[in-house]
Amino acid sequence: MSEQVEVTLREAKSQLLQLGARAWQGDRVVITKAGKPYLELLPHVATPQARKPGRLKGNIRMLADFDRTPEDVIKGFEG
């Protein structure tokens, strides 16, 4: 079961490694300033970026001869 840990900004400076470990274990770590919640320490969780179709529209051009292969390239492949 996770618990909430409250520490002052000054305490957090000297205990950052321990507080980070507690956040990774699931504890809620709240850093206070002047007696009020100031920051919450959370573990980083990578979230994949959703693919957005069409985001490069207008930025990519294809030349008119894109689908024409030069004879020297064809001969190079055929030997």
What is the pTM (predicted TM-score) of this model? Answer: 0.57
Is 24:43 a contact under the CB 8 Å cutoff?
Answer: yes
Return the pLDDT at 24.
Answer: 94
Return the pLDDT at 65.
Answer: 85
Return the pLDDT at 62.
Answer: 86
Q: What percent of the chain has pLDDT over 70?
A: 99
> What distance in Å separates the CA atoms of residue 63 and residue 68, rounded to the nearest whole number?
10
The SS3 assignment for 32 reads: strand
Each residue of 21-76: pLDDT tens digit? 999 999 999 999 999 999 999 998 888 888 889 988 999 888 888 888 888 988 89
> What distance in Å separates the CA atoms of residue 6 and residue 25, rounded to the nearest whole number?
15
The SS3 assignment for 53 reads: coil
Radius of gyration of the chain (CA): 28
